[in-house]
Structure 1
Amino acid sequence: MSKTKVLTGITTTGTPHLGNYVGAIKPAIEESWRDDIASYYFLADYHALIKGRDPKRIHQSTLEIAATWLALGLDTDRVTFYRQSDIPEIAELNWILGCMTAKGLMNRAHAYKAAVQANEEAGEQDPDKGVTMGLFCYPVLMAADILMFNAHKVPVGRDQVQHIEMARDIAGRMNHHYKTKFVLPEAVVGESTAVLNGLDGRKMSKSYDNTIPLFVPEKKLLKLIRKIKTNSLEPGEPKDPDTCTLFQIYSAFADATQVEVKRQQYADGAGWGDLKNELFEFLNEHLKDPRERYNALIEDPAFIEKELLKGAEKARAEAAPFLTSIRQAVGLKPLV
């Protein structure tokens, strides 16, 4: 049976939080158990270098993210789970694709345009001030990640759809000029994917410093939940669950029956203190077992390294012969 290849990259710049789990990790792991899908998950540590300038943080983030996925049940025998920098074929393909990518296409990339606009608004004489080639060429490396394994589908947020379109454009140019056979990838934007708010009511993001890390100790989890912003309604007054971060987080982990029971609590005027304590108890129970696995994995980086190298070997077994065919197509081949 022909399988649909689905590829997901996770940038190694932070600690996984509840929003990451609900919006990306949980649905990805669930999908990996489907027999009609071949799943590729990689730690995008090359991409992390674009903004991450702290070597220790990038290294620690790699450990934390890998441990998180493994603790939550990722079966590395069913999927291809690897570290981007362990696949040298990706870096070489990045150069080959870059040589067929129009600068004008990169000029239109959202991240680059935003950086230029920020400089112009700040009155900078150089509109490219602070713009690195990593930022400017980011979409080419992303295309290399995707095209290296001829992924059919790439789950992304709406802000990344443009990059998938660019990957299609680059693949099309390669196919037209060199007669290569790159698959044209499709962006998958989860319309029903849950997006959690953070402590301050905005979208949970490390950029806002409002996250709840997935595997913090119990006491820290309780402290963070009690910091979640709520309104001034008193106990006994009905509350709107649909505008409440506490209810949103609870609903992302609960089943339909539990959600309806919780909704009735809001209608009955439950107090914020009780609702926060109940959310803590519920989440803590839900995360207790994977937290234990995570902590054990963090203490055994050698095991995680072994898993990543196993994934790299699997990935390179596919990437190396494909890159050889690309090299031959562009004229990089032996003389005899």
Structure 2
Amino acid sequence: MSTATTTPAQQTAQPGGAATRTVVVSGIQPSGELHLGNYFGAIRQHLELHRQYESYFFIVNYHALTTIHDREALQRYTFEAAVTYLALGFDPEKAALFVQSDVPEVTELAWIFYNLVPVSMLEKGVAYKDKVAQGLPANAGLFNYPVLQAADILIYGGTLVPVGADQKQNIEICRDIAQRFNRTFCPPDRPLFPIPEPLIREEVAVVPGIDGRKMSKSYGNTIGIFDEGKTLRKKVMSIVTDSTPLEAPKDPERCNVFALIKLFADAETRHRIAEAYRQGGYGYGDAKKELIQLIDAHFAEARERRRELLKHPDYVMDVLREGGRKGRQRAQEIMEQVRDRVGLHYATYRPETS
């Protein structure tokens, strides 16, 4: 946790003004095959945190609708995301793992938040502008993405949100929304929503793809978490490098291959490979072969667990259903208070009589 820009608060304001333990909330979007950028940027951190704190991790299929309009693809990616978490070691006995749409209250809360958020705030969204610049359709879902994300976080009383550096602004919007709601609908001494903190690990803020840009499904430059054999070799061997000849010394810190090696290798291996770069006689092809070995070794056990999970899809669905039950129970508790505070519980109203 010391590598993060923010550490968990021990006591955080919660519904009714009480203090409680840290609640970790985060999600993963099932918009395609999960890759090394997803793993180092989010999933690995989720796996560490879910054993330490009360946690809610979910597969954000509502968010995926901003880009996916294919029924079967969305179903497949949602299932594969769940399998990936379980194969990598997520323990459903320790924390809730579920699908966003199994908690429909989140969209109800998002609608309430929409009525508090100035359009000008969303127009400044860097993530929205970046995605449109990449060619994604500028639909209303993409524009309003941060508001639904805020509902995702606050409906479970989230206090700590592990995210990539590119999501920092969205967490700032979430914090603003929580404060606006508390000011508008809550007594000063009884805020409903905590003000969540982002947890960002700067050393893996950007994982390079095979073309040197940030690894992203949008760029088509990814290496899948469970790629192996010829598929893995083809992708790794196509990683872009410069034209420095084999015999010449090279700077490992300027190489996309070494940037990935650093994510997998222990300190001794990193040092050995870095020295080989600097001494010369060590080619990029040599580095790529070592990277393949490191990836294979790192995910070997998870690949076997994944193969077993694929044989037992009912177990995966049971995990998601139980996680959804836990998530919805928490969400319903929060929404009862939200509805009461904003005035949606109209049946309790009685006119004054003289």
Q: Would the TM-score normalized by the shorter structure come out above 0.5?
A: yes
Residue number in structure 1 paired with 2:167: 160
| Alpha carbons 1:76, 1:311 under 8 Å: kept | yes
Residue number in structure 2 paired with 1:208: 219
1:241 to 240, 245, 252: 252
Q: Give the gaps of 5 or more residues in structure 2.
A: 1-9, 11-19, 349-354
Deviation at residue 276 of structure 1 after TM alignment: 2.0
Partners of 2:315 and 2:260 lie apart in 1 by: 32
Deviation string 1:213-263 (CA, Å, 9 cap, x unpaired) is 110232211121111122233333222211112212111011111111111
- SS of 2:203's partner is coil
Moved >4 Å (runs of 4+): 111-119
2:295 to 256, 260, 283: 283
Deviation string 1:136-187 (CA, Å, 9 cap, x unpaired) is 3222211111110121122223332222222222222221221151111222
Residue number in structure 1 paired with 2:31: 13
* One-letter amino acid of the counterpart of residue 90, structure 1: V
Percent of paired sites with the same residue:
40
Change (3 A) 1:107 1:202: closer
Residue number in structure 2 paired with 1:53: 69
Partners of 1:266 and 1:99 lie apart in 2 by: 56
The answer to whether the aligner puts 1:314 opposite 2:321 as a matched pair is: no
* One-letter amino acid of the counterpart of residue 290, structure 1: A
Partners of 1:113 and 1:248 lie apart in 2 by: 27
Partners of 2:126 and 2:295 lie apart in 1 by: 37
Q: Which moved more, 1:14-23 or 1:326-335?
A: 326-335
* One-letter amino acid of the counterpart of residue 301, structure 2: D
| Alpha carbons 1:246, 1:275 under 8 Å: kept | yes
| Alpha carbons 2:27, 2:58 under 8 Å: kept | yes
Residue number in structure 2 paired with 1:292: 304
* One-letter amino acid of the counterpart of residue 121, structure 2: L
Q: Which moved more, 1:159-168 or 1:5-14?
A: 159-168
- SS of 1:41's partner is strand
Partners of 1:310 and 1:116 lie apart in 2 by: 36
Partners of 2:294 and 2:141 lie apart in 1 by: 42
Number of aligned residue pairs: give it. 325
Q: Which moved more, 1:293-302 or 1:201-210?
A: 293-302
The answer to whether the aligner puts 1:145 opposite 2:152 as a matched pair is: yes
The answer to whether the aligner puts 1:192 opposite 2:203 as a matched pair is: yes
With the length of structure 2 as denominator, give the TM-score of the two structures. 0.84
| Alpha carbons 2:42, 2:164 under 8 Å: kept | no
Partners of 1:115 and 1:23 lie apart in 2 by: 18
Change (3 A) 1:108 1:272: closer
Partners of 2:257 and 2:119 lie apart in 1 by: 46
Superposition RMSD in Å: 2.4
Residue number in structure 2 paired with 1:25: 43
Change (3 A) 1:58 1:182: same
With the length of structure 1 as denominator, give the TM-score of the two structures. 0.89
